Amino acid sequence: MCFTGNTFRSMRYVLVMACLLGAAKCWAQSSQQAATGFPSKPVRYVVTFAAGAAPDTVARLLAERLTRMWGHQVIVDNRVGVAGLLGAASVAKSPPDGYTLVQCNIGTNAIALSLYTKVPFDQNRDFAPVTRIGTTPNVIVVHPSVPFRGVKDMVTYARTNPGKLSYAAGFAGTSQPLMMELFKLIEKLDIVHVPYKAGPQAVTDNVGGQVPMGVYQAPSVVAHVQGARLRGLVVSSGKRIVQLPMVPTMVESGWTDFIVTSWYGVCAPAATPVPVLDKLNADFVAILRSTELQQRLDDLVVLSAPTSREEFDQIIRSETVRWAKVIKDARIPLQ
């Protein structure tokens, strides 16, 4: 029997394809088996905020319920520092098996990518989004001595008094001052940012009248607005929040496309098997849709907003682009 060169090449091709298909089948089976038995040991859940902060409280509520669901402990591991970049990077470098997760957020996983010259991970390359957890609106408030009754009053004053109005907020890379910088770009306003390293100190100075206006996450100031120590001008969510029913949204105030919220979510290392990611998504979403947990989150002024993996990936990508443009247009210096 005679074999030509073409025959040998064809046989080689068939053998290579058979090996590849066999390997793919084995990988798929092992991945499915990993998901079927997942989890079989404790899961580490990294939170890039300090213990006691609102995101940490949210993480512990989830960890408690996942522990009951899975029969294995979910351990909350607080890794703070450099806007959460160090904690997130530690997860990006962890084994991609679903046993190490990070509570990703707007600051660490979207804003920081354009704000810092050195980011120790690539969000799109190093992480697999699992689901969004929820969103929290920002609130613009003023000291009671300030005559503004709404955001339109603030705009009118700022236009006629450029550079004379100031607001307290966190450092430049957090969502609250970036929200104000976006608004300033839209309305071409000159309002001075007074940055604070610690949010509670900013609120204290705002309540004391040292700074006339402030932009904060809603949970930080709800009690002060309810107690008339601060006056709420506007909330940045699409609808009013239960705790501050008298404070209108930006949409109601005339800025129909202006919605800005801080968000939390869950991300895993990028190469985590798809069946494991699907199980993580299904279990997190089931818990987030429970009436009991939604009420607990409402009490923290966090709106439960779970998504598919694909939807959350698109949210992160669009938010990254959005805030990169604000940072560039507002000429915020890189950190």
Rounded to the nearest angstrom, the gap between the alpha carbon of residue 314 and the centroid of all alpha carbons in its chain is: 13
Instruction: Please answer whether residues 248 and 150 qualify as being in contact, where contact means their C-beta atoms are separated by less than 8 angstroms.
Output: yes
- pLDDT attached to residue 28: 46
Across the range 90-103, mean pLDDT stands at 96
- pLDDT attached to residue 53: 84
- pLDDT attached to residue 35: 60
Instruction: Please answer whether residues 56 and 50 qualify as being in contact, where contact means their C-beta atoms are separated by less than 8 angstroms.
Output: yes
- Buried/exposed code over 55-91 (b: 16+ C-beta within 10 A; e: otherwise): bbbbbbbbbebbeeebeeebebbbbeebbbbebbbbb
| pLDDT at 310 > cutoff 70 | yes
Q: What residues contact residue 254 under an 8 Å CB cut-off, 6+ apart? A: 152
| pLDDT at 19 > cutoff 60 | no
CA distance 132 to 104: 9
Across the range 188-211, mean pLDDT stands at 91
Q: Which tens digits make up the pLDDT trace of 200-227? A: 889 999 999 999 999 999 998 999 999 9
Rounded to the nearest angstrom, the gap between the alpha carbon of residue 86 and the centroid of all alpha carbons in its chain is: 16
**Summary mean pLDDT of the chain:** 89
- pLDDT attached to residue 198: 74
- Region at 82 (left for phi over 0; alpha for psi -120 to 50; beta for the rest): left
Q: What residues contact residue 262 under an 8 Å CB cut-off, 6+ apart? A: 105, 106, 107, 135, 136, 137, 138, 175, 217
- pLDDT attached to residue 54: 85
Instruction: Give residue 23's pLDDT band: very low, low, confident or very high (50, 70, 90).
Output: very low
Q: Which tens digits make up the pLDDT trace of 247-263? A: 999 999 999 889 999 99
Side chain identity at residue 175, one-letter code = S
Q: Which tens digits make up the pLDDT trace of 158-178? A: 999 999 999 999 887 788 999
pTM value?
0.84
Q: Which tens digits make up the pLDDT trace of 286-302? A: 999 999 999 999 999 99
| pLDDT at 18 > cutoff 70 | no
| pLDDT at 31 > cutoff 70 | no
**Which three-class secondary structure state does DSSP give residue 214?**
strand
- pLDDT attached to residue 189: 96
Instruction: Give residue 147's pLDDT band: very low, low, confident or very high (50, 70, 90).
Output: very high
